[in-house]
């Protein structure tokens, strides 16, 4: 199952989640690849995705557009060819079983003045996985993002709540329980590097059961 991975913000763990999915599925014999349509700043995320995905691919197949400024794509004075990005996705999807598309920044980051990450996800047409960071404020950001995904006519496959805190505060210890009660989509466990198996919740949304 191919998925579009978006975030409630930048730096919430989209690449980490994509990498863990790629590694686990490849270990189970699936042919899969990550796809980063746009990189802003360095190209490390795309390089990580390339190394974790199927053999024989190139960095330009994984990341067809590399913008050097570490900010929203719209800031650079270039005419971003959306059809080129879509064509790169279609060509990659024809080579592997599963593609995990990692959006740039969050759901409403402007790619052009009239075109947002949301619009790219709609044109690609995959179920959307929302990644958020377990911290104060994530409840609002998560619910807004999930509702926007659904309003765009796409299926939200679930929400991943990532956590880096070693000494969690009250918000971090209660966010998961609150989200589980108010979301109408699955709340999925974080894919930690130390755990090799896919949790049952992930197996279900990826359609790998049975």
pLDDT for 136-179, tens place per residue?
Answer: 889 999 999 999 999 999 999 999 998 866 777 788 888 999 99
75 Cβ neighbours under 8 A, 6+ residues apart? 69
Higher pLDDT, 111 or 35: 35
Q: Which of 41-45, 140-144, 170-174, 183-187 has the lowest mean pLDDT?
A: 170-174
User: Sheet harboring 32-35: ordered strands across?
Assistant: 32-35, 98-102, 3-7, 128-133, 156-162, 187-188
Query: What pLDDT is attached to residue 34?
Result: 98
CA distance 95 to 20: 20
Number of domains in the chain: 1
Query: What pLDDT is attached to residue 71?
Result: 65
Query: What pLDDT is attached to residue 75?
Result: 61
Query: What pLDDT is attached to residue 210?
Result: 45
CA distance 161 to 148: 18
Alpha-carbon dihedral 110, 113, 116, 120, rounded to 10 degrees: -130
Rg (CA), the chain: 16
8 Å CB contact between 80 and 65: yes
- Let me know if 194 is a catalytic residue: no
Query: What pLDDT is attached to residue 164?
Result: 62
- Does the structure show a pLDDT above 60 at 122? yes
Instruction: Give a yes or no: residue 187 inside a domain.
Output: yes
Query: What pLDDT is attached to residue 202?
Result: 87
Long-range CB pairs of 203-210 (<8 Å, 24+ gap) are 205/1, 205/127, 205/157, 205/158, 206/1, 206/3, 206/21, 206/25, 206/98, 207/1, 208/1, 208/28
Instruction: Give a yes or no: residue 31 inside a domain.
Output: yes
- Does the structure show a pLDDT above 90 at 51? yes
CA distances (Å), 61 to each of 23, 54, 89, in order?
Answer: 19, 12, 8
The CATH number covering residue 199 comes to 3.40.50.300
Instruction: Give a yes or no: residue 210 inside a domain.
Output: no
Query: What pLDDT is attached to residue 160?
Result: 95
CA distance 81 to 79: 6
Q: Which of 42, 48, 58 is CA-nearest to residue 18?
A: 48
Share of the chain above pLDDT 70, in %: 93
Tokens 């913000």 belong to residue: 9
- Does the structure show a pLDDT above 80 at 200? yes
Prediction pTM value: 0.92
Instruction: Give a yes or no: residue 164 inside a domain.
Output: yes
Residue numbers of the domain that contains 153: 3-205
Section 19-44 average pLDDT: 92
Higher pLDDT, 134 or 197: 134
pLDDT band at 99 (very low <50, low <70, confident <90, very high): very high
Instruction: Give a yes or no: residue 63 inside a domain.
Output: yes
User: Which token pair is 182?
Assistant: 């108010």
Indicate which residue of 14, 36, 91, 194 is catalytic. 36
Side-chain half-sphere of 90: how many Cα atoms within 13 Å?
9
Instruction: Give a yes or no: residue 41 inside a domain.
Output: yes
């Amino acid at each position: 199952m191919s998925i579009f991975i978006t975030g409630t913000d930048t730096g919430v763990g989209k690449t980490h989640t994509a990498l863990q999915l790629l590694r686990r599925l490849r270990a189970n014999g699936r042919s899969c690849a990550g796809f980063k349509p746009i990189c802003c700043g360095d190209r490390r995320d795309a390089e990580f995705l390339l190394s974790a995905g199927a053999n024989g691919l190139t960095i330009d197949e994984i990341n067809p557009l590399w913008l050097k400024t570490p900010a929203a794509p719209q800031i650079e004075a270039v005419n971003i060819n959306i059809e080129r990005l879509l064509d790169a996705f279609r060509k990659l999807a024809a080579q592997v079983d599963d593609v995990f598309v990692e959006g740039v920044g969050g759901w409403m980051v402007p790619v052009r003045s009239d075109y947002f990450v949301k619009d790219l996800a709609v044109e690609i047409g995959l179920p959307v996985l929302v990644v958020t960071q377990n911290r104060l404020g994530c409840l609002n950001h998560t619910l807004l993002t999930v509702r926007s995904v659904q309003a765009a006519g796409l299926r939200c496959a679930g929400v991943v709540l990532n956590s880096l805190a070693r000494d969690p505060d009250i918000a971090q210890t209660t966010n998961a329980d609150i989200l589980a009660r108010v979301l109408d989509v699955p709340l999925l466990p974080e894919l930690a590097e130390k755990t090799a198996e896919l949790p049952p919740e992930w197996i279900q949304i990826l359609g790998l059961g049975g």
